[in-house]
Chain A
Amino acid sequence: MKKIKKLLVANRGEIASRVFATCRELGISTVAIYSKYDAPLLFVKEADEAILLEGETLKETYLNSDRILNIAKKLNVDAIHPGYGFLSENAQFAENVLNAGLIFIGPKAKNISSMGNKSESKFFLKPLGVPFIPGYFGKEQDINFLRDEAKKIGLPLLIKAAAGGGGKGMKIVENWNEFDQKFEEAKAESLKSFGDDHLMLEKYLVNPRHIEVQVFGDEHGNAIHFHERDCSLQRRHQKVVEEAPAPGLTQQQRDALFADALKIVNAMKYENAGTMEFIMDDKGVHYFLEMNTRLQVEHPVSEAINGVDLVKLQIKVAEGEIKPWEKIHRFEAPHGHSIEVRVYAEDPENNFMPTSGKIKLLKFSTIKNVRYDFSYFQGDQITVNFDPMIGKVIVWAETRQDAIHKLIAALKETVILGFKTNISFLIACLSKKEFQQGLVSTFFIQKHHDNLMNQEMPNELVVAGYLLSRFKSSSSLDTTNDPWLGLDNFRI
């Protein structure tokens, strides 16, 4: 067992703040690294020591593993927490940290690399009986051969371009008599878009749901799961709303997910936090998507329903504790319901174009059991260059309905003044009847897109704000010398 007394977070913004908070609770001293653009942010001030990484690009700063490792060694840091993104799934970095005699808060390098490669992971997982989306991904392109393969997969079926994505060269086949025609169309489109007419076949999942399982392994071969999350509401494969537990699953479906997740963890002898991502079809059958060998952005919803601090567990596991989850208080069964939304600096009505500006005013809701994990605060400047996620809002409530209403109420009270954000889009998603009924899928946002686009705030409210903020009264005409602020019939 090795005690961690000093920890460096190789990350920024809200996740750095989040890790520092747990470190403070455990009496671990903290080190932040930051780029000059992040100098004014709160996470820099929260750490006991903060070291500036000179440079413009991510490569020179947050992805500069050598520099970060040197800083860690120089400051006699015991452990490095990589956060999410950046170097968190860089097997070489994990290896280098270990070779430098430091503790990496995460899994072994070989686990990172084996799960990081789609074909390598499939090679390892298939023999375990882990279900994959049925498909044909081979080289044979003869239409008769492929039609036979298609029959094995079943309908509905997706014909995909092997050389690319983005929907080009992708056709859905819903009955057999259209297979040949769709095949030829896909071939032509693929050749036109990618210069390559190789096709793949895959089972088409109707109303697919993105369901993931939070897992943990210790260094002694023990493993546990912390139930599931549903992250179906996505836009361009970016998660927007996440919740735990997943609505509408039977216990049988859940147990099947947990069984597969733990099967993988045990086979890999996986250590520390991880997430198994699955895609579930409308019949409740799940297929393996990928494994994320790190802590995820949406971990707070699992913390809420399990009553645990996952970062604390990560640190305990890294210190070598045996089954640390048994020594901390946690709920046996999922308790209540938790939902998280990601707040972005973007304009949903304008193609979700990123927005920028200074946060002139920031106010959080004071409703109970509302958690804010934010990277930016009042006075901070958002630029279009950086990650547009401003922060996350997470609620916990006794039931899913209560959680939805609480989150809507909290979002209505959350103030970010200075530029457009997606807050009213988030409120629209949560307010949608289908969401409240649990009818979620990865097509949700696309399907309801036009309804989710907002009605602007009523003109009269904006006008009232304008007049009230500029005029003292209608009786005194000379409130100002500025000709633009008069209130008579001044015409231009």
Chain B
Amino acid sequence: MKLILNNDVFLEVNLNSLNEDNISFECNGKVFNYSFIKTDSSFKLKSLDKVETIIFSSSREMTEIFHQGKYSQIKIASHTNLNANDEKIQQYEYSSPMPGKISKIAISINQKIKKGDVLLYLEAMKIEHPIKSKMDGEIESIVTNVGDQVDQGQLLIKLKKL
């Protein structure tokens, strides 16, 4: 199965075996074996050289994992962000992560951009937050202007494939 981690990374996973105490699976070609103990919110995973306890919460859409201060989300890759044989995540729409003001737009229509390029800057809580592209592509539309006050979730930029 193809899983997507933190909306950012694809993982090719196959479950080899699973019973009440042991699990063996492949992740991107590498095999992992653990014995485990389950509680209502955690798994204690024991491998050859260490013991790790991960905390989890699962819903229909995704599983959230917490481990030593770090937080991750993982779910099945759906067709909207998957392209056959494509290793990279395809995120076409970019919306505002929080309420704020558009302080600078760093791209223009039809401009070709690479994954990681800054699309625009959102000013919130006295700090300028860069919004970066998650894929290589081309700017299809810019639905906001410098100076606009935007809400959390408001659509700002649309990309299309090269």
Task: Point out residues on A near B: beta carbons under 8 Å.
Answer: 236, 351-354, 356, 360-361, 363, 384-385, 411-412, 414-421, 423-427, 454, 456-457, 459-475, 484, 487, 490, 492
**B54-92, CB under 8 A of A: which get 1 and which 0?**
111110000111111111101011110010000000000
Q: Say yes or no: A415 contacts B19, CB within 8 Å.
A: no
Give the residue name and chain of the B residue nearest to A426 (CB): B69
* Contact partner, A236, options B6, B55, B76, B127, Cβ 8 Å: B127
How far, in angstroms, from A351 to B67 measured CA to CA in the complex?
21
User: In the bound complex, what is the Cα–Cα distance between A408 and B6 (angstroms)?
Assistant: 25
Supplied contacts A356-B152, A418-B71, A424-B68, 20 more A-B pairs, CB within 8 Å:
A384-B97, A384-B99, A384-B124, A415-B55, A415-B66, A416-B71, A421-B71, A424-B69, A457-B68, A457-B70, A461-B45, A463-B13, A464-B45, A467-B18, A468-B38, A469-B56, A469-B58, A469-B63, A474-B16, A492-B79
Instruction: Specify which chain A residues have a CB less than 8 angstroms from the CB of B15 in the assembled complex.
Output: 467, 471, 474, 487
Q: Is the CB of A456 within 8 A of B72?
A: yes
On whether the beta carbons of B74 and A466 are closer than 8 Å, the reply is yes
**CB-contacts of B1-48 with A (<8 A):** 1-3, 5-6, 9, 11, 13, 15-20, 23, 25, 27-28, 30, 32, 34, 36, 38, 41, 43, 45
Q: Are A492 and B77 in contact, CB atoms less than 8 angstroms apart? A: yes
Whether the pair B98, A354 counts as a contact (CB closer than 8 A) is yes
Bound together, the chains give a CA A419 to CA B70 distance in angstroms of: 9
Find out whether the CB atom of A457 lies under 8 angstroms from the CB atom of B152.
no
Which residues on B sit within 8 Å (CB–CB) of A416? Answer: 66, 71
- Pick from A417, A427, A467: contact of B68, CB under 8 Å: A427
Minimum CB–CB distance from A451 to chain B (whole Å) comes to 16
Interface membership of B125, Cβ < 8 A? yes
Residue from the list A354, A356, A461 in contact with B125, Cβ < 8 A: A354
Are B71 and A384 within 8 A (Cβ)?
A: no
Q: In the complex, what's the smallest C-beta–C-beta distance from B46 to chain A, in angstroms? A: 11
Q: Is the CB of A471 within 8 A of B67?
A: no
Q: Is B129 an interface residue (CB 8 A)?
A: yes
A115 to B155, CA, bound (A): 46
Identify which of residues 95-114 in chain B touch chain A, using a CB-to-CB cut-off of 8 Å: 97-99
Q: Which of A351, A464, A475 contacts B34 (CB 8 A)?
A: A464
B2 touches A411 (CB 8 A): no
Residues of chain A lying within 8 A (CB to CB) of residue B36: 464, 468
Neighbour of B41 across the interface among A361, A411, A418, A419, CB < 8 A: A361
Which B residues from 105 to 138 make CB contacts under 8 A with A? 124-125, 127, 129-130
Looking at the assembled complex, report how far the CB atom of B80 sits from the nearest CB atom of chain A, in whole angstroms: 10
Contact A353 B97 (CB under 8 A): yes
- Check A474–B69 contact: CB distance below 8 A: no
Chain B residues contacting A457 (CB-CB under 8 Å) are 65, 67-68, 70, 72
Cβ contact of A459, chosen from B11, B16, B20, B79, cutoff 8 A: B11
B38, B69, B79 pick with most chain A CB within 10 angstroms: B69
Q: Is B93 an interface position by the 8 A CB rule?
A: no
Bound-state CA distance A38–B129 (Å) is 27
| Contacts A353-B97, A354-B125, A464-B23; A414 near B69 (Cβ below 8 A) | yes
* Pair B72/A427 contact, Cβ less than 8 Å: no
> How far does the alpha carbon of A425 sit from the alpha carbon of B3 in the complex, in Å?
26
Q: A361-B66, A470-B63 are in contact. Are A461 and B52 (CB under 8 A)?
A: yes
Most buried by B among A361, A415, A461: A461
Closest A residue to B77 by CB, please name it. Answer: A492
Closest CB in chain B relative to A469 CB, distance in Å: 4
Instruction: Let me know if B125 and A463 touch, CB within 8 A.
Output: no
- The CA of A441 and the CA of B1, in the complex, are separated in Å by 48
- Interface core residue of A354, A465, A468, A490 (most chain B CB under 10 Å): A465
Give every chain B residue within 8 A of A351 (Cβ-Cβ): 127, 129-130
CA distance A359 to B3 in the complex (A): 24
Docked complex Cα distance between A63 and B78 (Å)? 47
Residue of A nearest to B19 (CB): A473
A-B contact pairs, 27 of them (CB 8 A): A236-B127, A353-B129, A384-B124, A411-B68, A417-B55, A417-B57, A417-B66, A418-B57, A424-B69, A426-B69, A454-B70, A457-B67, A457-B72, A459-B11, A459-B28, A460-B27, A463-B3, A463-B32, A464-B32, A464-B43, A465-B43, A467-B13, A469-B56, A470-B63, A473-B18, A487-B15, A492-B78
Shortest Cβ gap from A484 to chain B (Å): 5
Query: Contacts of B79 on A, CB cut-off 8 Å?
Result: 492
Pairs A-B, 6 closest by C-beta atoms? A423-B69, A424-B69, A384-B98, A465-B65, A469-B58, A474-B18
When chains A and B are docked, how far (Å) is the Cα of A205 from the Cα of B129?
Answer: 29
Contacts of A417 in B (CB 8 A): 55-57, 64, 66, 71
Rounded to whole angstroms, the CA-CA distance of A457 and B74 in the bound complex is 12
B48 to chain A: closest CB distance in Å? 13
A464 touching B3 by the CB < 8 A rule?
no
Q: Given A360-B64, A457-B65, decide whether A465 and B127 contact each other with a Cβ distance below 8 A.
A: no
The smallest beta-carbon distance between B160 and chain A, in angstroms, is: 21
Pairwise interchain contact A463-B11, C-beta atoms closer than 8 A: yes
What is the bound-complex CA distance between A469 and B30, given in angstroms? 21
User: CA A427 – CA B57 in complex, angstroms?
Assistant: 23
Minimum CB–CB distance from B103 to chain A (whole Å) comes to: 14
Complex formed: what's the CA distance from A51 to B15 in Å? Answer: 55
Question: Which residue in chain A gives the minimum CB-CB distance to B1?
Answer: A490
The CB with the most chain A CB atoms within 10 A, among B38, B55, B64, B98, is that of B64
Give the CA-CA distance A425 to B71 in the complex, in Å: 12
- Chain A residues with Cβ under 8 A from B43's Cβ? 464-465, 468-469
Q: Which chain A residues lie closer than 8 Å to B6 at the CB level?
A: 456
Which residues of A have CB within 8 Å of B130?
351
A283 to B125, CA, bound (A): 36
